[in-house]
Amino acid sequence: EAQVTQNPRYLITVTGKKLTVTCSQNMNHEYMSWYRQDPGLGLRQIYYSMNVEVTDKGDVPEGYKVSRKEKRNFPLILESPSPNQTSLYFCASSLSRGAYEQYFGPGTRLTVT
Amino acid sequence: AQSVSQHNHHVILSEAASLELGCNYSYGGTVNLFWYVQYPGQHLQLLLKYFSGDPLVKGIKGFEAEFIKSKFSFNLRKPSVQWSDTAEYFCAIGSGNTGKLIFGQGTTLQVKP
């Protein structure tokens, strides 16, 4: 089954404790992206990757890092999480940057205390 | 700057009522237009999309949307809603070279049985 998976689905952590949210897709998509969803703001792009070893900042990249060492994986790293990063995070992928139709993962609800 | 505006933040309807959710965008160039739906506790799913051609597009589950270029609008419609349509609906545009989707704030639809 074609899908985007994320882990963990729920995470409660404390300020400053590094964490990684994994994302994997099995559709051989070139383009992958991370969004955060906050009430009243919709989804905002954090980082994106057009292919292996090619990543770039989205609209709200501060406090986040990503890597793309393999085509299927695109982890999101919070080196020193803060309470304002409490949010719902979605990973998404699409065939290429031009395709735009993106397939979303199930989401990771992160709480930073 | 590109932006998407959804005018209705919270809509409450009875079953069998007709639905229209407004979406306006601001961007001078060619855009791809999307409606995504997020059922409670689930990830975003694509309802329908418009890239070019017939401005009236049909999606899944009886939804349709009309692209009106002169009004920069892409409103979502359904003639008769069901309780199972209770969800959050997001309008989005894709444009430029980054593959980014720009989302509206979302509209929560509650359908009363």
* Beta-carbon separation of B45 and A43 below 8 A: no
pLDDT at residue A97 is higher than 80: no
Among candidate residues B91, B87, B94, the one with its CA nearest the CA of residue B104:
B91
- Cross-chain CB nearest to A90 (options B4, B9, B44): B44
CB atoms within 10 A of CB B102: 23
Q: Decide: residue A25, CB within 10 A, 0-12 exposed, 13-18 middle, 19+ buried.
A: buried
Q: CB B43 to CB A107 under 8 A? A: yes
Task: Select the more confidently predicted residue: B40 or A74.
Answer: A74
* Residues A103, B11: Cα–Cα separation, whole Å: 26
Q: Mean pLDDT, chain B, as a whole number?
A: 92
Task: Please tell me the predicted confidence (pLDDT) of residue A42.
Answer: 87
SS3 content of chain B, % helix, strand, coil (to 5): 10, 50, 40
Partner residue opposite B43 with nearest CB, options A41, A96, A104: A104
B66 touches B56 (CB < 8 A): yes
Average pLDDT over residues A81-95: 95
Q: How far is B105 from chain A (nearest CA, A)?
A: 4
Using the Cβ of B60 and the Cβ atoms of chain A, whether some distance falls under 8 Å is answered with no
Res B107 pLDDT > 90: yes
Tens of pLDDT, residues A42-72: 899 999 999 999 999 999 999 999 999 999 9
Amino acid, single-letter form, for residue A111: T
Inform me whether the C-beta atom of residue A34 falls under 8 Å from chain B C-beta atoms.
Answer: no
For A86, other C-beta atoms within 10 Å of its C-beta total 16
- CA–CA dist B22, B15 (Å, integer): 20
- B29 pLDDT exceeds 70? yes
Q: Does residue A99 carry a pLDDT above 80?
A: no
Report the percent of chain A where pLDDT is more than 70.
98
Identify which of B34, B92, B99 has the shortest CB distance to residue A31. B99
Pick the residue of A93, A104, A108 with the most B CBs within 10 A to test the interface with B by mutation.
A104
Residue B50: the pLDDT is: 93
List Cβ neighbours of B65 (8 Å cut-off, separation of 6 or more): B33, B35, B48, B50, B56, B57, B59, B74, B75, B76, B77
- Check CB contact of A51 with chain B, cutoff 8 Å: no
For A72, what's the count of Cα atoms within 13 Å in the CB-facing half-sphere?
A: 10
